[in-house]
Amino acid sequence: MNSIRNFGIKQILIFIFILILSIAFSGCRHISNKEKKLVKISSVIFDIIIDIRYATTNNFTGKKLYCNPYCYLLSSTADKLKNVQSELTEKELFLKIYDAYRPLKVQKEMWKYLADERYIANPLYASHSRGAAVDVTLVDKNGVDLDMGTEFDEFSKKSAPGYFGFPTDILYNRILLKKVMKKHGFIQSTTEWWHFFDKDWKKYPILDLEDADLRKLEDAD
Ligand SMILES: [Zn+2]
């Protein structure tokens, strides 16, 4: 009788052990090489507008932080963004990208400028440095930016998507951007209307690429 009971307990313990293991590893989905690969966004989305502010002095640091206006994302994130643009094209609207993949070195430099996690991510877990975040706005068919209430990289409470002290047309533009991005797999920052994370961003590693690495990607294109 005891051995039968022991056998039963042993089976239950093995079952619980397997259950714990399966729960622990359920979040560790295998990431294929294709998903980890950075791709040039303009090669995936042909009608996208690119205005990489950190390749100019027109950004919050006042310094040119990129040698070239590189605009790369993880392949899987770029695919999601392509779906966003496809939907926007039907409305005669276009995405304009201010930033995408951000080299770790640049993230660290920004962090030195402003170590405020409401606006600049700690380099230890920055989503831009994984190639899984994008800063975007909307542009109409005449090339005019839709009014979002503040400029890109205005670090104030008015930049928060939860700030509603704007006229209806501005709120509508903000809601439209959020709605279409969310529909295709992006999560909006709570402090910056322009910043969106790929919903899977935490699954991807930080990619510490130098300017020379990006140049090689550019040449291989
Ligand atoms: Zn951002």
Q: What is the pLDDT of residues 145-200, one digit of tens each?
A: 999 999 999 999 999 999 999 999 999 999 999 999 999 999 999 999 999 999 99
Catalytic residue chosen out of the listed positions 90, 117, 154, 192 = 192
Burial of 70 (C-beta count, 10 Å sphere; 0-12/13-18/19+) = buried
Average confidence score pLDDT of the chain: 88
Model pTM score: 0.83
Amino acid identity at 202: K
Q: Which of 205, 176, 170, 172 is nearest to 188 (CA)?
A: 176
- Give the domain ranges of the chain: 1-30, 32-220
Question: In this structure, what is the dihedral angle of CA atoms 75, 80, 85, 86, given to the nearest 10 degrees?
Answer: 110
pLDDT (0 to 100) of residue 18:
53
pLDDT (0 to 100) of residue 211:
80
The pLDDT-based confidence of 114 (bands split at 50, 70, 90) is confident
pLDDT (0 to 100) of residue 26:
43
pLDDT in tens, 48-100: 999 999 999 999 999 999 988 989 999 999 999 999 999 999 999 999 999 99
pLDDT (0 to 100) of residue 24:
47
Which residues are within 8 A (CB) of 176 and not within 5 positions of it... i.e. 6 or more apart? 138, 146
pLDDT (0 to 100) of residue 58:
94
Residue 78 Cα to ligand 1 middle (Å):
15
Residue 195 Cα to ligand 1 middle (Å):
4
Among 73-82, 113-122, 208-217, the range of highest mean pLDDT: 73-82
Fold of 32-220: Muramoyl-pentapeptide Carboxypeptidase; domain 2 (3.30.1380)
Q: Are 110 and 118 in contact (CB under 8 A)?
A: no
Surrounding residues of ion ligand 1, Cβ less than 5 A? 135, 195
pLDDT (0 to 100) of residue 51:
96
Residue 117 Cα to ligand 1 middle (Å):
11
- Torsion-angle region of residue 185: left (phi > 0), alpha (psi -120 to 50) or beta? left
Q: Are 192 and 149 in contact (CB under 8 A)?
A: no
**Distance set, CA 167 to CA 121, 148, 151, 164, 172 (Å):** 30, 10, 16, 8, 9
pLDDT (0 to 100) of residue 13:
65
Is 90 catalytic? The answer is no
Tokens for 165? 């002290």
Distance CA 129, CA 18 (A): 35
Residue 18 Cα to ligand 1 middle (Å):
40
Residue 101 Cα to ligand 1 middle (Å):
9
Q: Are 136 and 96 in contact (CB under 8 A)?
A: yes
